[in-house]
Chains A and B, each alone.
Chain A
Amino acid sequence: MSRRSRAAVARSAGRDRTLTTLLGLVLVAASVLALLVGYGVFGAYRATRPLIDPIAVSWVSTHVSATRWILIGVGVLLFLVGLWWLLRTLRPEPRPDVSLSELPGERLTVEHAAICDAVRHDAEAIDGVSRARVRLVGTPQKPALRIALTLVEGTDVRDVWADLDGRVLARAREAFAVSALPTAVRLELDATSAPTPARVE
């Protein structure tokens, strides 16, 4: 298992999780702080001070320009972070075409669909595989394969592996002219005994 083959298992939700967790932490911290102030943990006098604190108000009225720039800065930051996050999370996972040669004059790229169809045909020819779904993930320079295999009941996984590596992946590696092609295989064990047709041909 390499880092790249492991990354190809599924689209990462790491960014969403990190940002959601961070936002949750910030909200919890703000809430706890407000409650502590209200219950007089930081002094009984502080708890009875108004929410719109006169000290803060006087600072704002003496530093009008600084306040403006701080507010604008915070607003721009929030806007950019929100927009960037929104675009990244809504963007579909890219399906890269593979570039085999970058030399000027003999640039050669292979389309995503062509590769996937070829690998899928090979994979579905394996004994015990009733259905295969294949896609590429990653970048055109560093692609990785993601294969989902549906296995017929009673299939020995080791036999499937041997065929997969010996025939399917070997051909793919040969086609890409690489010695190793990061691959993530997802197995559906014992699905059905009858092969189900692929939803999209």
Chain B
Amino acid sequence: MRLLLRVLAPLIALLLAVAGLALVVETVTAWVAPSSSPLVVPWPAWRTAIEGLTWQSGSVRAVAIVVGVVGLFLLITGLVSRRHDVYLADPVPEVTVTTSPRSLARAVGHEVRSHDDVVSASVVASSSKITVKAATLDPAEEVRAALRDRVTEMLVRLPLARRPRVAVSVTTTKGVK
């Protein structure tokens, strides 16, 4: 979402600037030299097009709905594009340490996969929650407890500012050990 914001923001800014410039240019043209108006934007044609419309007209409603959807999209883009850094406890004042959710998930994934009974595993991490899904050939419950211990112990070693909740789910797959 941050990439989308990064792309959208200059475009919207450009659009605003162009709209403002067009408004000024057309107003001044209509004022100073009415004979050459409209200069760029064909606003008299727009005016005749919407002349007969009332607020109840279908096309007005359609345009309003489209504008609303675009607005909602911008609103949501602006609201959700925050950073998802995982903060570590500060070693010293004036120093902030962060890591990425992906990097945290990778570290947890290495730890989980290093367990002998785990066949495959996937990890999703954020600063508040770590979700581990693993597959094993052994009874799931024992491996689950072992994995939970491993991840918890690893989080003790890693000085995160806020200890995330750990959710481990293990499934038993068929296969030859």
User: Do A and B belong to a common assembly?
Assistant: yes
| Interface set of A (CB-CB < 8 Å, partner B) | 1-2, 4-6, 8-10, 13, 16-32, 34-35, 37-38, 40, 46-52, 68, 71-72, 74-83, 85-86, 89-90, 153, 156-158, 161-162, 164-165, 169, 180-191
Minimum-distance CB pairs A-B, first 4: A27-B71, A78-B20, A82-B17, A31-B68
Tell me whether B67 and A27 are in contact (CB under 8 A): yes
Q: Would A47 and B31 be within 8 Å (CB), given that A75-B23, A82-B13 are in contact?
A: no
Q: Is B70 an interface residue (CB 8 A)?
A: yes
**One of B55-63, B128-136, B169-177 at the interface:** B55-63
Cα distance A184–B15 in the bound complex, in angstroms = 35
User: Chain B: which residue is nearest A15 at the CB level?
Assistant: B9
Q: Is B8 an interface residue (CB 8 A)?
A: yes
Tell me the total A-B contact number using a CB cutoff of 8 A. Answer: 240
Cα distance A82–B21 in the bound complex, in angstroms = 10
Q: Would A48 and B20 be within 8 Å (CB), given that A27-B74, A32-B68, A189-B99 are in contact?
A: no
Q: Is B42 an interface residue (CB 8 A)?
A: no
Complex A-B: 21 CB contacts under 8 Å? A16-B78, A17-B79, A19-B13, A20-B8, A20-B75, A22-B78, A24-B71, A34-B61, A34-B64, A34-B67, A35-B65, A47-B56, A48-B56, A50-B54, A157-B88, A157-B158, A158-B159, A183-B94, A183-B95, A189-B104, A189-B158
Tell me whether B9 and A51 are in contact (CB under 8 A): no
- Residue of B19, B73, B94 with most chain A CB atoms under a 10 A cut-off: B94
User: Chain B: which residue is nearest A21 at the CB level?
Assistant: B78
| Interface set of B (CB-CB < 8 Å, partner A) | 2, 5-6, 8-10, 12-25, 27-28, 31, 47, 50-57, 60-61, 63-65, 67-68, 70-79, 81-83, 85, 87-88, 90-100, 103-104, 106-107, 110, 157-159
Tell me whether B71 and A21 are in contact (CB under 8 A): no
Cα distance A32–B72 in the bound complex, in angstroms = 11
Cα distance A2–B95 in the bound complex, in angstroms = 7
Contacts of B68 in A (CB 8 A): 27-28, 31-32, 35
User: Chain B: which residue is nearest A189 at the CB level?
Assistant: B107
Tell me whether B20 and A76 are in contact (CB under 8 A): yes
The minimal Cβ–Cβ distance linking B116 to chain A, given in whole angstroms, is: 17
Contacts of A156 in B (CB 8 A): 157
User: Chain A: which residue is nearest B92 at the CB level?
Assistant: A165
Contacts of B27 in A (CB 8 A): 68, 71-72, 75
The minimal Cβ–Cβ distance linking A186 to chain B, given in whole angstroms, is: 5
Cα distance A165–B70 in the bound complex, in angstroms = 48
Known A-B contacts: A21-B75, A78-B16. Give 18 more (CB < 8 A). A5-B94, A6-B96, A13-B6, A13-B81, A19-B13, A22-B78, A24-B76, A24-B77, A38-B56, A38-B61, A79-B17, A86-B14, A89-B9, A157-B159, A158-B91, A186-B99, A189-B103, A190-B107
Cα distance A40–B54 in the bound complex, in angstroms = 12
| B67 CB contact (under 8 Å) in A31, A37, A191 | A31
Contacts of B95 in A (CB 8 A): 1, 5, 165, 169, 182-185
